[in-house]
Amino acid sequence: MDDDRARLRLIIEGRVQGVWFRASAAEQAQASGVTGYARNRPDGAVEIVAEGSRKKLESLRLWARTGPPLAHVSTITEEWAQFKGDFDCFRVC
C-alpha cells in the first residue's frame, strides 16, 4: 500500500467559472495521473476533489492558486483527507 497517497478537496473562489478552470484542472490532473473531479458550484466557486500522491496533489494545489490565464483566484480553501480510491480517472462535472 502506498502511504504517500491522499485526497485533497479544494474550493476555489474568484473569477473561476467561464474561464476554462475545470478543463484546465482536468488537463493538469490527467497529465500527472491524479484522479477525481472538478465541478462548478452554485455559489460561483469551483470544487476540485482529487486523489493521488501527495507530491502530485501539492502540484495541483499550487497550480490552482492561479489557474488558467483568464482566471482570477481570490481564495482557496483546502482540506486534506485519507486516500479512499473512489475514482478511476479525472472528470469535469
User: Hey, which residues are catalytic here?
Assistant: 22, 40
Strand partners, 91: 37
Which residues are paired to 30 by β-bridges? none
- Taking the C-alpha atoms of residue 38 and residue 10, their distance in angstroms, rounded to an integer, is 9
Best CA proximity match to 5, nearest among 25, 24, 33: 33
**For residue 46, which phi and psi values (nearest 5 degrees)?**
-115, 135
- With cell 504517500, the residue in question is 4
